[in-house]
Chain A
Amino acid sequence: MRTLYIFLIFSVFYFDSFSQVSGYLGKRSYLLFDITPTTATFASTPSGKTNYINLSMIPESEIDYSIFAMNFKPEVSFSYLIRNDIALGVSGAYNITSTYIENEFQSSYKEYGIIKGIGAGIYVQIFSGPKESNIAPMGRYITLGVDLIMSDLYSNVDDATKLNSKKILSPILTYEFGKQILLNDWLLLKYGASINVNIGLLAEVASMSYETNDGYTLEDANQSSVQLGIQLYQMVNFHLALGTIAF
C-alpha cells in the first residue's frame, strides 16, 4: 500500500516546497573558485577570421592574420543566501587575455598582445527552475552582476612595460546561468555559461563617433582595442568552479 501511495503521489502530484531554510544544513555562505577557460571564439575580423585582437595600427583590411586567443579569468566569489532562493555575492577576478597575430607577409613575425587586469564585482544569484525546485545552494541558477575590470596592455607575457599609461576601466554587466551541485558535505561544483556586456565599450564607441583624428592617439587606439578585446572575448564565457560551503 505504501509503495502504491508513493507511486501515486509520484505520478500525479507535487507540492511546491514553499518554505525552505536557507543554505545547506543551515550554512548560508559558500566560496567558489571559478576558472573561466574560454577560448576567444567570438572575436572576428571584417574578413570573417576569428580569434583576433587588433593590437597594431595596421588597418584590418590590409592584413590577413589572426590565429590564437585565449581568455583566462580565475575568479574567487563569496555568496551569502539572504533567502531560500536568493544569494548576494562579491567576486574578485584576475584576468589574462592573450593573443598573437601572425602576419602573412612576414610569417616568422608574431605580434603578441597580452591584456592583464584585475576586477571586482557584485552579483545576485537566483535559484530558480520552471517546475523543478532547487534547494539552494544546489540547483539551477541565474546570476545578474556588475564587474569592473581594470586592465593593462603588454606586448608579451614577460614584458613589464605597459603599452598604455592609464588603467583601462571596463564595467561589465553579466548574466550567467548554470547549475550548482554539492558533491559531498562541503565540496561545491558549479558549471554554467555567461553573457557579458561591456558597457565601457559602448560608451567608448559612442564617444569615438564625435572624436577627430587629431585627438586619436596610439594609446587611444590600443585602449579601444583592449576594450574591444575584453568585450568580445568575454561576451560568452563558460564557467567551471569548485568551492566549499563556508558557514
Chain B
Amino acid sequence: MNFLNKLLLTNFLLLLVSFDSNSQSIEKLEAKGAIPSDLLELPSLTYQKELESISESDSRKVRKEKENFYFNSNFILFDYLTSGKVLFNDPVTNYLNEILTNLLKENHPELLNEIRLYAVKSPVPNAFTTNNGMIFFNIGLLEKLNNEAEIAFILAHEVIHYKNKHVIDGYLESKEIEKGSGDYKKLTVKDQFLTKAKYSRERELEADELGFDIFLNSDYNISDPQNVYDILLTADQITSKTEYDINSLSSSTFVLTDEYFPDEKDLKVFEVSENYEDKEATHPNIKKRKERILSKIENSNIPDQENLYIVGEEKFKQVKMLSHKELVRQYLLNHQYTEAIFKADEFGKLYRDIDSVASQKMFVKALYGLAINHEEMRIQSDLFSIDYQRLYKTLRNIETIDLGLLAISHLIDYEEKYGRDEEIRLLIEDILKNMVYNHTLIKNYITGKSKLIDSKVKLTVGRIHSTEYGEEILEDVKDYIAFMELSTKQKNELYKNNKYKVKNSLIINPFYAKLKGRNKKKLDFEASEDFLVSLSGYIDEAAEPLDFKATVIDVYNLDKNDLEKFNDQALINEWLNEKLNNEEWFGISPIYSEVQPLREKYNTDYFTWIGTLDFKGRMDSPSYGGIVLTALYSVPMSAILLVEKIRPHSKTFYFSITFDLKSGKIVNEDAVYLDLKCNEPLIKSKIHNTFFKLKYGK
C-alpha cells in the first residue's frame, strides 16, 4: 500500500469535529499519524539522492548549477518542512490528497507516487510546488475558495509545474540570464529582471493550459473554476462572506459613538482591473489567463459536468471551517489584529452553531493584542472591502488608552457570558499593567494617589473590581506599580534576591549555523547539519553533571512515531515566533492555553532556546594604535600583530534565552561572543554554564 493510499484510509478514520462534554468546539489543526519521510530524511541525504538524477549528457556548467540548486533547495526545504507550519495526515491535507488522487488516478497515476501534498498553516493565499514533487497549499488560499473544483483546478496547475520541471528549468534559465550567456548577451539589470519575469509568465501560462487539460479529464465542472482567477485578482484583500457590523466593536459598557467611526466618504470601493500591466510580474495578468482557459473550454469536446464536489461537499465545508479558524489563529500570531477581528466575526456568523465560543475568544484576544501593540498597526491603503476599511480606520481612530478600556470591557463581557477563564484574567491584568506603565493618571488612580480620572477608567476599574478575581488583579497591579517606582539600584537588588531557580527546562530545536563567506551571509548547510544532529547529545552531557533535567525535542532526531514531540515543537515554535515579534511588551501569547498543557506534560514551567553561530571574524585587539606603537620598539613584532589583527579568526556567538511558559516572560538570557573556535567542548561548556546559571539563579 503506498503512502497516499494509507493517507486516504486514515482519512476515513478521522473525525473532523470533536465534541467535549461541556461545549462544542472545532478541533485544532495539527499534524497527525506517522511523520512522513520528507520530514525525517536529513537534507544531506536527499541532496545526495537528487545528485544521482543529474544527467551525464548535461554540460559541465549545467551540472554545476543543478548541484547548487539541489544543495540549497534541500536544506532550505527541510527547514520549511520542520518549521511546524507544514501539516500532514491532518483533515485538510487528507482532503487535498483525496482531490489530487481523483484528479490524477485516470490520467497520470504514476504521478501519485511522486507527488506529496501538504497543507500549510500560512495566511498567505498561495500554493507552490518544489522540484522534488512537493506541493504546499496554504490555508489562506483554501479559505478563499468556494468549492472543491476550484481546489482541483489549482492542484492541476501545480502538478504541471512539477511534471514539466518548471522549478529547476526556471532556476537554470534565470542563471543563464544573470550570466548573460546564450541568447541573453548584454542585457541590462532591468532587462534581466524583465526577461526573467517573461520566462516565468510563460511557464505559468503553460501550467494553466496543461493543468487545465488534466482538469478537463476529471469529473469536475469545468466552467466554475474560472472564479479562481477572480479570487487571485483580489487575493491580497481581506474579504468576508458576511456583513461586518461596526457596532459589534462596542461592549456592554463601552459604546463606540460616531466620533470613533470614519467618515463614510473616506471609504472607497477598490476596483481592480483584470487587464493590469504585467510586464514586471511573474504571473500573467488575469485577463490573459482567463482568455486562455476560455478558449480551451470552447475548443473542448468534453461535455461539462455538474460536479463541484467529488470527494464531498461536507468535507469541503469542514475543511474550510478548520482553515478559517486556523487563519484567525495565524493572524493573531502574526499580530494582524484587524484581520483577526474581521475574520473572527465572519467565523462567528458562519459557524455559530458549531463553535459558539471560538469566535468570541479570538475577538477578545485580538482586542487585547491591539491594546498592547496598538502602535504596530500597519498603515494600509484603501485596497480592501468597505467593511474592512471601516473597521481598520475605527481601530486606528480609537486612542490606545480607550482601546485598552474597550478590550478589558469585552474581556469581562466574555467571562460573564462564558464563565471563569484563567486566560481572560491574565489578559485583563496585562492590559491594566500596560496602561499603568504608559499613563501616570491611571497609575495614580489605582494606587489611590489621585481620584481625578476619566469616567471610563473609573467604570472599567470598577468592573474589574466586581469580578471574582478583581481584588487579586488590582493587588498584582499595585505590586507592579510599586516595582516600577523602585530605583534601578533597588530593582537590581530585587532581581538579585529573587532570581529564578530553574531545575528543569524544555529545550526545543537548539540552533546552530556555520557561516561562511566574507560577509558571513552564507550558511554552510552540511557542516551545520552534522553539528545539529549531535547537539541534543551535547545538551544531555552538559546537563548531567549538574543534575539538571533538560528535555530536548529536536527535529534532527525524530523518528516517524514521534508525532507528539513533533507537534509540541511546532507549537513552541509558533509561541516563540510570536514572542520574538513583540517589540516592547512581552504580552500573553494568543496560544497561551495551548501551551499550558506542555508544562504538566514535561514537568517544567520553562522553555530554553539555545543557539550558536560559528564564523570567522577579525580580532578586535590589538588596536591599530597599539600596533603602531609596537612598531617603534620592534617592527617584526608589529608585523606579527598586524597579521593577527587582519587574518580571520574562528569565533563563536552563543545565546540562550529562557522563558517562563506561564507568564511568557524571559527569566534568563545570555548572549556572548567567544574568541574561540566553535567545537563540541566549547558548546558543551557554554550550555553547562547556562544550566548552572538557571539552576543556581545566578
Chain A residues in the interface with B (C-beta under 8 A): 1-2, 5-6, 9-10, 13-21, 24-26, 129-135, 138-140, 179, 181-185
B585, CB-defined interface residue at 8 Å: no
B635, CB-defined interface residue at 8 Å: no
List 5 interface pairs A-B (beta carbons < 8 Å), by A numbering. Answer: A2-B580, A26-B546, A129-B675, A130-B620, A183-B681
Which residues of A sit under 8 angstroms from B580, Cβ to Cβ? 1-2, 5
> When the two chains form their complex, are residues A132 and B684 in contact, meaning their CB atoms are under 8 A apart?
no
> When the two chains form their complex, are residues A134 and B611 in contact, meaning their CB atoms are under 8 A apart?
no
Cα-based distance from A129 to B669 in the complex (angstroms)? 21
Choice from B577, B671, B689 contacting A21 with Cβ under 8 Å: B689
Cα-based distance from A185 to B682 in the complex (angstroms)? 9
Cα-based distance from A26 to B684 in the complex (angstroms)? 11
Q: Of all chain A residues, which has the CB nearest B653?
A: A10
> When the two chains form their complex, are residues A135 and B689 in contact, meaning their CB atoms are under 8 A apart?
yes
Given A19-B693, A138-B682, A25 and B542 touching (CB < 8 A)?
yes
Query: Lowest 9 CB-CB distances: which A-B pairs, in order?
Result: A132-B675, A182-B681, A21-B692, A19-B698, A26-B545, A1-B577, A20-B689, A5-B580, A17-B672
Choice from B573, B673, B675, B685 contacting A14 with Cβ under 8 Å: B673
B466, CB-defined interface residue at 8 Å: no
Contacts of B658-698 to chain A: CB distance below 8 A = 669-677, 679-682, 684-686, 688-689, 692-693, 698
Which residues of A sit under 8 angstroms from B673, Cβ to Cβ? 14, 131-133
> When the two chains form their complex, are residues B541 and A25 in contact, meaning their CB atoms are under 8 A apart?
yes
> When the two chains form their complex, are residues A26 and B681 in contact, meaning their CB atoms are under 8 A apart?
no
> When the two chains form their complex, are residues A135 and B511 in contact, meaning their CB atoms are under 8 A apart?
no
> When the two chains form their complex, are residues A132 and B689 in contact, meaning their CB atoms are under 8 A apart?
no
> When the two chains form their complex, are residues B670 and A132 in contact, meaning their CB atoms are under 8 A apart?
no
B621, CB-defined interface residue at 8 Å: yes
Which residues of B sit under 8 angstroms from A181, Cβ to Cβ? 676-677, 679, 682
Which residues of B sit under 8 angstroms from A138, Cβ to Cβ? 676, 681-682, 685
Q: Of all chain A residues, which has the CB nearest B652?
A: A132
Which residues of A sit under 8 angstroms from B671, Cβ to Cβ? 9, 13-15
Which residues of A sit under 8 angstroms from B672, Cβ to Cβ? 14-17, 133
Chain B residues in the interface with A (C-beta under 8 A): 511, 513, 541-542, 545-546, 573, 576-577, 580-581, 611, 613, 620-621, 651, 653, 655, 669-677, 679-682, 684-686, 688-689, 692-693, 698
> When the two chains form their complex, are residues B682 and A182 in contact, meaning their CB atoms are under 8 A apart?
yes
Cα-based distance from A181 to B682 in the complex (angstroms)? 8
Choice from A132, A140, A183 contacting B651 with Cβ under 8 Å: A132
> When the two chains form their complex, are residues B620 and A134 in contact, meaning their CB atoms are under 8 A apart?
no
Q: Of all chain A residues, which has the CB nearest B577?
A: A1
Which of A132, A134, A179, A182 neighbours the largest number of chain B CB atoms within 10 Å of its CB? Answer: A132
10 new A-B contacts at CB < 8 Å, known A6-B511, A19-B692, A25-B685: A9-B655, A17-B670, A19-B693, A20-B692, A21-B693, A25-B688, A26-B688, A132-B675, A134-B675, A182-B682
> When the two chains form their complex, are residues B698 and A24 in contact, meaning their CB atoms are under 8 A apart?
no
Cα-based distance from A14 to B542 in the complex (angstroms)? 23
> When the two chains form their complex, are residues B545 and A25 in contact, meaning their CB atoms are under 8 A apart?
yes
Choice from B613, B620, B653, B684 contacting A25 with Cβ under 8 Å: B684
Q: How far is the CB of A62 from chain B (nearest CB, A)?
A: 31
> When the two chains form their complex, are residues A1 and B581 in contact, meaning their CB atoms are under 8 A apart?
yes
Cα-based distance from A65 to B620 in the complex (angstroms)? 45
Cα-based distance from A130 to B623 in the complex (angstroms)? 11
Which residues of B sit under 8 angstroms from A20, Cβ to Cβ? 689, 692-693
Which of B577, B580, B620 neighbours the largest number of chain A CB atoms within 10 Å of its CB? Answer: B580
Choice from B581, B621, B670 contacting A15 with Cβ under 8 Å: B670
Which residues of B sit under 8 angstroms from A133, Cβ to Cβ? 672-675
Cα-based distance from A227 to B573 in the complex (angstroms)? 67
Q: Of all chain A residues, which has the CB nearest B691?
A: A21
Q: Of all chain A residues, which has the CB nearest B617?
A: A132
Cα-based distance from A179 to B676 in the complex (angstroms)? 9
Which residues of A sit under 8 angstroms from B651, Cβ to Cβ? 132
Cα-based distance from A24 to B581 in the complex (angstroms)? 36
Given A17-B672, A25-B688, A132-B675, A10 and B613 touching (CB < 8 A)?
yes
Which residues of B sit under 8 angstroms from A26, Cβ to Cβ? 545-546, 688
Q: How far is the CB of A237 from chain B (nearest CB, A)?
A: 15
> When the two chains form their complex, are residues A24 and B685 in contact, meaning their CB atoms are under 8 A apart?
yes
Q: How far is the CB of B678 from chain A (nearest CB, A)?
A: 11
Given A2-B577, A5-B580, A135 and B675 touching (CB < 8 A)?
no
Q: Of all chain A residues, which has the CB nearest B521?
A: A7
Q: Of all chain B residues, which has the CB nearest A24?
A: B685
Cα-based distance from A179 to B577 in the complex (angstroms)? 38
> When the two chains form their complex, are residues B655 and A135 in contact, meaning their CB atoms are under 8 A apart?
no
Which residues of B sit under 8 angstroms from A135, Cβ to Cβ? 674, 676, 682, 685-686, 689
> When the two chains form their complex, are residues A6 and B611 in contact, meaning their CB atoms are under 8 A apart?
yes
Which residues of A sit under 8 angstroms from B685, Cβ to Cβ? 24-25, 135, 138, 182
Q: Of all chain B residues, which has the CB nearest A182?
A: B681
Q: Of all chain B residues, which has the CB nearest A16?
A: B672
> When the two chains form their complex, are residues A15 and B620 in contact, meaning their CB atoms are under 8 A apart?
no
Cα-based distance from A184 to B679 in the complex (angstroms)? 8
Cα-based distance from A20 to B682 in the complex (angstroms)? 13
> When the two chains form their complex, are residues B689 and A184 in contact, meaning their CB atoms are under 8 A apart?
no
Choice from A5, A140, A183 contacting B675 with Cβ under 8 Å: A140
Which residues of B sit under 8 angstroms from A16, Cβ to Cβ? 672
Cα-based distance from A135 to B611 in the complex (angstroms)? 16
Which residues of A sit under 8 angstroms from B675, Cβ to Cβ? 129, 132-134, 139-140
Cα-based distance from A181 to B651 in the complex (angstroms)? 13
> When the two chains form their complex, are residues B613 and A132 in contact, meaning their CB atoms are under 8 A apart?
no
Cα-based distance from A24 to B580 in the complex (angstroms)? 32
> When the two chains form their complex, are residues A185 and B674 in contact, meaning their CB atoms are under 8 A apart?
no
Q: Of all chain B residues, which has the CB nearest A1?
A: B577
Which residues of A sit under 8 angstroms from B581, Cβ to Cβ? 1
Which residues of A sit under 8 angstroms from B689, Cβ to Cβ? 17, 20-21, 135
Q: How far is the CB of A208 from chain B (nearest CB, A)?
A: 28
Given A25-B542, A25-B545, A2 and B682 touching (CB < 8 A)?
no
> When the two chains form their complex, are residues B681 and A139 in contact, meaning their CB atoms are under 8 A apart?
no
Which residues of B sit under 8 angstroms from A183, Cβ to Cβ? 679, 681
Which residues of B sit under 8 angstroms from A5, Cβ to Cβ? 580
Q: Of all chain B residues, which has the CB nearest A136?
A: B685
Q: How far is the CB of B124 from chain A (nearest CB, A)?
A: 14
Cα-based distance from A1 to B581 in the complex (angstroms)? 8
Which residues of A sit under 8 angstroms from B681, Cβ to Cβ? 24, 138, 182-185
Which residues of B sit under 8 angstroms from A185, Cβ to Cβ? 680-681, 684
Q: Of all chain A residues, which has the CB nearest B649?
A: A132
> When the two chains form their complex, are residues A18 and B577 in contact, meaning their CB atoms are under 8 A apart?
no
Q: Of all chain B residues, which has the CB nearest A9?
A: B671
Given A138-B681, A182-B681, A15 and B545 touching (CB < 8 A)?
no
Q: How far is the CB of B55 from chain A (nearest CB, A)?
A: 34
Cα-based distance from A201 to B529 in the complex (angstroms)? 58
> When the two chains form their complex, are residues A184 and B680 in contact, meaning their CB atoms are under 8 A apart?
yes
Given A6-B511, A18-B698, A134 and B674 touching (CB < 8 A)?
yes
Which residues of A sit under 8 angstroms from B698, Cβ to Cβ? 18-19
Which residues of A sit under 8 angstroms from B513, Cβ to Cβ? 6
Which residues of B sit under 8 angstroms from A25, Cβ to Cβ? 541-542, 545, 684-685, 688
Q: How far is the CB of B383 from chain A (nearest CB, A)?
A: 25
Q: How far is the CB of B416 from chain A (nearest CB, A)?
A: 36
Q: How far is the CB of A87 from chain B (nearest CB, A)?
A: 15
Q: How far is the CB of B660 from chain A (nearest CB, A)?
A: 18
